[in-house]
Amino acid sequence: MKIFITGATGYIGSAVALDLRARGHEVTALVRAGRPAGALREAGVKLVEGTLGTILDHLAEIEANEVYVHTALSDDADKVLNDENAIEALTRFRHGGRYFIYTSGTWVLGNAGPAVDDEAMPPEPVAYAAWRPKHERIVLEASRDGFDTAVIRPGCIYGRSQSLLRGWFEAARDGRPVEIVGDGTNRWAMVDLTDLVDCYRLAIEQRATGILHAVDDTRATLREMADAVVRAKGSKSTIVAIPPDTARLQMGAFADALLLDQHVSSAWTRQHLGWAPRREFISSVGEQWREFS
């Protein structure tokens, strides 16, 4: 297949792009100027220089493909507008049996606590992700007349070089305090990066539609996960709890996303795709350390 992907130098997008290319697909990637893209180039990925802000200038390159995968998220004041630009560009061409996957996240489900949020649960997002449900709806409503769309909601992603949890691994490696927001009794929805890549691939191969939850079987608390990182390294690091109000002063709305307590189900996605995540966080910490760089 001919596949166009955004965010291909990012944590998710690079892994997805390289996996698809390794499986023989023709992959074209929208890449910001100056971002390291040597691995993509060496793998045979066609690079198109641009940003989400300029994506509408690249409609010819987009139209030449049959599958669109949007993993990019600009981390600036224009992130919502840029995401809208991406959706507009990637839903522009709805003929010829095309397919579009939009990347959202489980933070749109809000604070579930002991309840289980499945793929049918209506979103109640924290402020940090308040704009996401509207964009999910736009994508899903674009599905018609042979143009199929899906929304993948990954949990908090771990593995390889790490992303959200990179600070934990660096601190434990260096013997510094490992910081968590809140008392650590909350639970996050989690997914390993390699398992997440499998979810994207299966969705593309099967042209899956609707909401897909990419969440593994991790049910540990935040403090238990942080403790596991420290123990597996044999580190002398301590776990330091940052009070919520202090975190909000430092991080703004992002702090409330880190305080979420979620129990998210991916049962429908697993059954529908035949997706079987192989890792959960605690038992794979040793493997994560071996991958970490």
For 206-268, the DSSP string reads: HT--EEEEE--S----HHHHHHHHHHHHT----EEEEPHHHHHHHHTTHHHHHT----B--HH
Structure confidence by residue, pLDDT tens digits, 266-290: 999 999 999 999 999 999 999 999 9
Where is 67: in which H helix or E strand?
Answer: strand 67-70
Q: What is the DSSP code (8-state) at residue 19?
A: H
Residue 33 banded pLDDT, cuts 50, 70, 90: confident
- Looking at residue 58, its pLDDT comes to 96
Q: What are phi and psi of 61, to 5 degrees?
A: -65, -35
* Domain-embedded: residue 250: no
Structure confidence by residue, pLDDT tens digits, 81-138: 999 999 999 999 998 899 999 999 999 999 976 778 899 999 999 999 999 999 999 9
- Compute the average pLDDT of residues 30-39: 88
* Domain-embedded: residue 247: no
In 3D space, the residue among 157, 156, 160 whose CA is nearest the CA of residue 289 turns out to be 160
- Compute the average pLDDT of residues 44-51: 95
- Compute the average pLDDT of residues 194-213: 98
- Looking at residue 117, its pLDDT comes to 87
**Cα 79 to chain center, whole Å?**
15
CATH of the domain at 121: 3.40.50.720
Q: How many domains does the chain have?
A: 1
Q: What are phi and psi of 287, to 5 degrees?
A: -65, -40
What size, in residues, is the chain?
Answer: 293
Q: How far apart are CA 220 and CA 185, in angstroms?
A: 9
* Domain-embedded: residue 38: yes
* Domain-embedded: residue 29: yes
* Domain-embedded: residue 258: no
Above 70 in pLDDT, residue 219? yes
Above 70 in pLDDT, residue 200? yes
* Domain-embedded: residue 169: no
* Domain-embedded: residue 109: yes
* Domain-embedded: residue 45: yes
Q: Which two tokens stand for residue 191?
A: 């997914």
Q: The domain containing residue 125 runs over which residues?
A: 2-158+190-217+263-278
In 3D space, the residue among 75, 83, 67 whose CA is nearest the CA of residue 16 turns out to be 67
Q: Which two tokens stand for residue 79?
A: 């992130």
